[in-house]
């Protein structure tokens, strides 16, 4: 069970709101290798491939190359917005001057604060972000670097804080306790870097899951991975913690000697037909002996009633018995429609 969510202030850009109990945000960062149109190719292709019901990050940051001109970055923003006007775009840089300009036209700016960053620059950016109603994120290279600024951060208007950390669980927990001691309520952006591809799911699940279940974090991000993974992993972590539901949820029993149908194949088939139903929870259980008791809080249940026969449930109530398995998927969908939980899948 999630501990009480840390109380934080809100930051916002237009209708995009983070902190203060607003929906957990999923952010992603796209590193630009240059500032020509061709450097947006992968991002544009990915956005075009996304189906309308697939989640996309709430905020996409473009990481500016060091030697770029700000005017070139502006052109890229315009190009992206011309194709995808609904996107919220942010700029990442260590140069405060660029970010001052970005706060005029972009939705967000992330300052990579380094030893050369002055408190005056941070103060100016925070005031500008507040005046322009934009999101400013301050990214520190380590927990000690952020802690050095704590007394000063307290005086700033609301902004998002994040850390580069190889030990995010311990570092963010320590940060939260320091912020609480200072009475600082800036929202926190949890940034987790994938270090080893084979451990990616484990890393994201353990780091993000642990912190989220501690009530820590207002927005999340997995960096160092493809855009697909950078979107899929945070949304899955939020879904698993039941903090932001972006697709249907399925519970299947582990199967045993009592299982009355091919559990894997049936689960996969039902998933294919219903996974677009955001927020609907479907249980697929192999038998009626233990299945109904193990469906937890599923909205609908598909349970083996006998050889070639299926019982359908709404919540814990069995509403249709002994349906021939050949038509059981159809009957399940009819039931979902009858309870106003169905929407048509998006066109492929
Ligand atoms: S629900 Fe039935 S089939 Fe599935 S694991 Fe439990 S006892 Fe076995």
d(CA 83, CA 97): 27
**Binding pocket residue ranges, ligand 1, CB within 6 Å:** 253-256, 258-259, 285-287, 289-291, 294
CA 39 – ligand 1 centroid, Å = 52
Q: pLDDT (tens digit, 9 = 90+) per residue, 240-257?
A: 888 998 889 999 999 999
Take residue 81 and report the two structure tokens written for it. Answer: 């917005």
- What value of ipTM does the predicted structure carry? 0.99
Q: pLDDT (tens digit, 9 = 90+) per residue, 58-89?
A: 999 999 998 889 999 999 999 999 999 999 99
All CATH 3.20.20.20 domain ranges in the chain, comma separated: 11-240
d(CA 310, CA 307): 8
Q: Using 50, 70 and 90 to split pLDDT, how confident is the model at 333?
A: very high
The atom of ligand 1 lying closest to the CA of 255 is 5
Question: Are the C-beta atoms of 136 and 11 separated by less than 8 Å?
Answer: yes
Q: Is the pLDDT of residue 208 over 60?
A: yes
Amino acid 245: pLDDT:
87
- CATH number for the domain whose boundaries are 11-240: 3.20.20.20
CATH of 249-338, picked from 3.40.50.720, 3.40.50.20, 3.30.413.10, 3.40.50.2300, is 3.30.413.10
CA 257 – ligand 1 centroid, Å = 8
CA 264 – ligand 1 centroid, Å = 13
Q: 274: closest CA among 302, 237, 253, 255?
A: 302
Q: What residue owns the CA closest to ligand 1's atom 8?
A: 256
Helix (H) or strand (E) segment spanning residue 46 = helix 41-49
d(CA 295, CA 284): 8
Which of 19-28, 204-213, 259-268 is the least confident region? 204-213
d(CA 197, CA 103): 34
- Classify residue 221 as exposed, middle or buried by CB count within 10 Å of its CB (0-12, 13-18, 19+): buried
In terms of phi and psi (left: phi > 0; alpha: psi -120 to 50; beta: otherwise), the region of 213 is: alpha
Q: Are strands 249-252 and 189-193 parallel, antiparallel or unpaired?
A: unpaired
All CATH 3.30.413.10 domain ranges in the chain, comma separated: 249-338
CA 251 – ligand 1 centroid, Å = 12
The DSSP result for 140-192, as a single string, is ESSHHHHHTTHHHHTTSPS-EEEE--SSHHHHHHHHHHHHHHHT----BEEEE
Q: 295: closest CA among 245, 243, 252?
A: 252
Q: Ligand 1 pocket test: which of 289, 301, 305, 307 has the largest number of ligand atoms within 8 Å of its C-beta?
A: 289
CA 335 – ligand 1 centroid, Å = 23
The mean pLDDT of 218-229, rounded to a whole number, is: 92
């Amino acid at each position: 069970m999630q501990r009480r969510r840390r109380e934080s202030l809100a930051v916002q850009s237009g209708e995009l709101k983070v902190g203060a109990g607003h929906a957990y945000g999923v952010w992603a960062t796209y590193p630009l290798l240059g500032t020509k149109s061709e450097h947006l190719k992968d991002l544009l292709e990915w956005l075009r491939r996304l189906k309308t019901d697939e989640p996309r990050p709430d905020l996409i940051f473009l990481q500016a190359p060091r030697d770029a001109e700000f005017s070139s970055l502006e052109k890229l923003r315009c190009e992206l917005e011309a194709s995808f006007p609904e996107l919220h775009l942010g700029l990442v840089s260590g140069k405060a001057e660029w970010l001052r300009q970005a706060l005029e036209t972009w939705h967000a700016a992330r300052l990579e604060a380094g030893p050369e960053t002055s408190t005056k620059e941070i103060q100016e950016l925070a005031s500008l972000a507040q005046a322009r109603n934009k999101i400013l994120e301050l990214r520190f290279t380590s927990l000690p670097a952020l802690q050095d600024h704590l007394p000063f951060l307290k005086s700033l208007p609301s902004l998002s804080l994040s850390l580069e950390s190889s030990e995010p669980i311990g570092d963010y927990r320590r940060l939260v306790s320091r912020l609480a001691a200072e009475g600082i309520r800036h929202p926190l952006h949890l940034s987790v870097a994938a270090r080893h591809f084979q451990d990616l799911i484990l890393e994201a699940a353990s780091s993000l899951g642990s912190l989220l279940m501690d009530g820590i974090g207002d927005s999340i991000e997995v960096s160092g991975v493809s855009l697909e993974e950078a979107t899929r992993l945070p949304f899955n972590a939020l879904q698993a913690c039941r903090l932001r539901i972006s697709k249907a949820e399925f519970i299947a029993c582990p199967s045993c000697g009592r299982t009355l149908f091919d559990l894997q194949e049936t689960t996969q088939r039902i998933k294919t037909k219903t996974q677009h139903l955001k927020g609907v929870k479907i249980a697929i259980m192999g038998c009626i002996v233990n299945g109904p008791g193990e469906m937890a809080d599923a909205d609908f249940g598909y349970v083996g009633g006998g050889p070639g026969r299926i019982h359908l449930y709404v919540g814990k109530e069995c509403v249709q018995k002994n349906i021939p398995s050949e038509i059981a998927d159809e009957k399940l969908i009819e039931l979902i429609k009858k309870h106003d939980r169905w929407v048509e899948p998006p066109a492929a």
